Amino acid sequence: MSKYSRKDFLKLSGLASASLFLPNFLKGMGAGTDPRMSEMLLPVTNGKRLVVIQLSGGNDGLNTVVPRGDDLYYSNRSGLGLKGAELINLDTYFSLNAKLQGLADLYMNGEVAIINSVGYPNPNRSHFRSLDIWQSASDADKYVQSGWVGRWLDSACSNGDYKPYYALELDDAMSLALKGNTLSGIAVSNPKRMNAMMQDPVIYKTAKAWTAHEDDEHHIEYLHKTLAQTEMSVQTIYDKSGRKLSKAIYPGHAFGKHLKMIAELIMADAETSVFYISLPGFDTHAGQKNQQGRLLNVYGDALKAFAQDLKSVNRWNDTLVMTFSEFGRRVKQNASAGTDHGTANVMLLAGGGLKKKGILNEAPDLKNLVDGDLQFKVDFRRIYASVLKNWLGADANGILGATFETMDFV
């Protein structure tokens, strides 16, 4: 007996050949395979998508991308320093934490770029404040009440083509990052639950009854319009995330579940350009090795599954995954086999469309520290600017409120 029954074969071949004759609007119902489609779906970003991963708590970059060739790494990290089987060597100097096997596989494939020593002037070591700085993309001495992804919406959708799910956070609550000055993204953790909320008849019918009152400046119009947009967004996300298109195996962790949902949305041709997702738990003041290792393992495996799903529908080349944490950690380990809050940190980029791969800049300088912490070499807003301008085709200067030199990794 062959592995596939005749019925299976007919089903597969029938689908494959039939799809050649499918009109474009029907293809949108299934998995996208036509590269032109994404440009039509995402006119604002020319078919490109961005996935932002926030490793909350302050991920220890030195034990993520390890400067194995630097003796200072081991003298500062006796015990916590990774060696031997704890490492996957990238070159003669750098290694990845061996828990990142999934990421290492992508790296070997030329699908990862690493930028060392990313930070900002006058670093803040408070989780809240530093995350606030990263999400608002502000100077350390400025307090800004909008986020950079939200301001991207303000700018990219200024022609009136706006739907909240153009920027989607996989969470119950929406981060500052997605709040613009006038427009915002949407946060959805569980589409089914949100859809159930939307189905309340009074709420649903009120949403459906909305018709635009263009020149009405009153809050009433704003609230009704937001409700109508919400209904449409929830409907779309609920529908597109529920088609079971993903074939890859994700870690059994909330983060894996959410990254899988992003894959399914992309595979169902959702018109979302920016996805935002967090993986918390990186505040490793004590017993770091296990805790960080477990989380990095989830992160790397989820990312590999995600790449596999997107490759199967030719979307990996149009997708960029950017990973950051609000700060790195102190170079010298503490007395509890952990590390305390630090400053500059490594940033990871992954995707099939990277123009520059591998390690893009010099190794972190473990010698010239300030108060025991790394000095930043690359302002994080240079990376935001590069992604905004070169990837999303957006007005980076306007969105960031200043000019940052771009880099050429995309």
Partner 1 sequence: MKTKELHHLLYRAAFGPTPQMVKELKGMTREQVVNRLFDDADRIQDLMIIPKPETNDKGEVGPLKTVGLILKSQKEKDLLNLAWIDRMTVAKASLREKMILFWHNHFATSAPFGWLMQVQHNTLRRLALGSFVEMLHEISKDPAMIIWLNNQQNKKNAPNENFAREVMELFTLGEGNGYTERDIKEAARAFTGWFVNQKGEFEFNEKQHDDDNKTVFGNTGNWNGNHIIDFLLAKQETATYLCRKIYKTFVNNTVDEKRVADLASRFRTSNYNIEDLMRHIFMSDWFYASENIGAVICSPVELIVRFKKLVQFQVDDKQQLAYQDLLGQTLFSPPNVAGWKGGRAWIDSSTLLFRLNIPTTIINSNAIKLNKRPAFEEKDRGEKPQKDQQVVVKSDWGVLVNYFKDVPAEQLTDEVIQFFITAPATRISSALIEQHVDTSTPQRRIITTIAAVMKLPEFQLI
CA separation for the pair 376, 223 (Å, rounded): 43
Query: Which of residues 173, 362, 367, 408 is near partner 1 by CB under 8 A?
Result: 173
- Rounded least distance, CB 283 to partner 1, Å: 5
Q: Pick the closer one to partner 1 by CB: 116 or 339.
A: 339
Place of tokens 């390890």: 66
Single out the segment in contact with partner 1 by CB under 8 A; choices: 37-45, 83-91, 225-233, 328-336.
225-233
Which residues in 371-400 contact partner 1 (CB under 8 A)? none
Q: Pick the closer one to partner 1 by CB: 47 or 164.
A: 164
CA separation for the pair 110, 307 (Å, rounded): 12
Contacts of 264 (CB under 8 A, 6+ apart): 240, 241, 242, 243, 244, 245, 246, 309
CA separation for the pair 322, 50 (Å, rounded): 7
Query: Which of residues 19, 206, 235, 375 is near partner 1 by CB under 8 A?
Result: 206
**DSSP assigned state of 139:** -
Q: Pick the closer one to partner 1 by CB: 179 or 240.
A: 179
Phi, psi for 325 (deg, rounded to 5): -140, 155
Q: Pick the closer one to partner 1 by CB: 161 or 200.
A: 200
Distances (CA, A) of 116 to 81, 136, 140, 299, 330: 18, 21, 20, 19, 15
CA separation for the pair 168, 274 (Å, rounded): 6
Which residues in 47-66 contact partner 1 (CB under 8 A)? 56-58
Q: Taking CB under 8 A as the rule, does residue 102 contact partner 1? A: no
Q: What's the length of the chain?
A: 410
Distances (CA, A) of 54 to 51, 131, 172, 321, 323: 10, 9, 15, 11, 6
Measure CA of the first residue to CA of the last residue in the chain; give whole Å: 49
Q: Taking CB under 8 A as the rule, does residue 219 contact partner 1? A: yes
User: What is the pattern of x (binds partner 1, CB under 8 A) and - over residues 106-145?
Assistant: ---------------------xxx--x--------x-xxx
Q: How many helices (H) and strands (E) does the chain have?
A: 14, 12
CA separation for the pair 374, 327 (Å, rounded): 10
Contact 361, 378 (CB under 8 A): yes
Which residues in 309-338 contact partner 1 (CB under 8 A)? none
Q: Taking CB under 8 A as the rule, does residue 201 contact partner 1? A: yes
- Rounded least distance, CB 281 to partner 1, Å: 3
Query: Which of residues 139, 171, 340, 395 is near partner 1 by CB under 8 A?
Result: 171
Q: What is the size of the binding site for partner 1 (CB under 8 A)? A: 62
Single out the segment in contact with partner 1 by CB under 8 A; choices: 7-15, 196-204, 301-309, 372-380.
196-204
Q: Taking CB under 8 A as the rule, does residue 197 contact partner 1? A: yes
Query: Residue type for 152, please?
Result: W
Phi, psi for 316 (deg, rounded to 5): -65, -35
- Rounded least distance, CB 228 to partner 1, Å: 10
Single out the segment in contact with partner 1 by CB under 8 A; choices: 15-23, 74-82, 291-299, 376-384.
291-299
Interface contacts to partner 1, rule CB under 8 A:
56-58, 127-129, 132, 141, 143-145, 164, 171-174, 176, 178-179, 182, 184-188, 190, 193-194, 197-198, 200-203, 205-206, 209, 217-220, 222-224, 226-227, 229-230, 233-234, 252-255, 257, 279-281, 283, 291, 294-295
